[in-house]
Amino acid sequence: MKIAPHLPKSSFRIALIGALLPLGGCLPEPSFPDQPAIEFQSFDLSASGGRELVIRFTDGDGNVGLGQADTLAPFCPTCEHHQNLKCEYQEWRDTAWVEIGLNPDAGQIPFYYRVPPVAPTGQNPTQNGTISIDMNSWFLNSPYDSMRFRITLYDRDLNPSNEAYTPATPKP
């Protein structure tokens, strides 16, 4: 997937596992709340020196994801919800985690992404799967040595998921 030029240079993929198709009526259909839910899975080093962030997600009404044609408000390029996966950067500073607000106008690129839609098939709209992001850049240069991300996923109704966190990670 190609990321818009104002986003971090990253590759992105989404894989849905199970739960999109009811299997012949023998198994009960999965049921999840309409608000998306996420769970941190991993934040591992990649061969290129970047990091791969993996989260699990569920959504009961199947409306996670934005298509290329989603360019009108509230998903327009200048709108707050143009990107539907937000990874807020935090550093451990002395005795607490401090969120570092990044300003694109100052050349700082936020860690925000557009998760593409994956339409469920069949009668059950439930989505259940993983989202993987290859982050070529994943930390800021500063005198502080530990970082983490606070992650939130938004569905098309602008419902936020719960917040998930990467573990404290030492910067190189």
What is the model's pTM?
0.82
Cis peptide, bond prior to residue 74, ω within 30 of zero: yes
Asked whether 154 and 160 are in contact (CB, 8 A), the reply is yes
Q: What are phi and psi of 105, to 5 degrees?
A: -65, -20
pLDDT at 74: 96
Q: What is the domain partition of the chain in residue ranges?
A: 10-170
pLDDT (tens digit per residue) in 128-144: 899 999 999 999 989 99
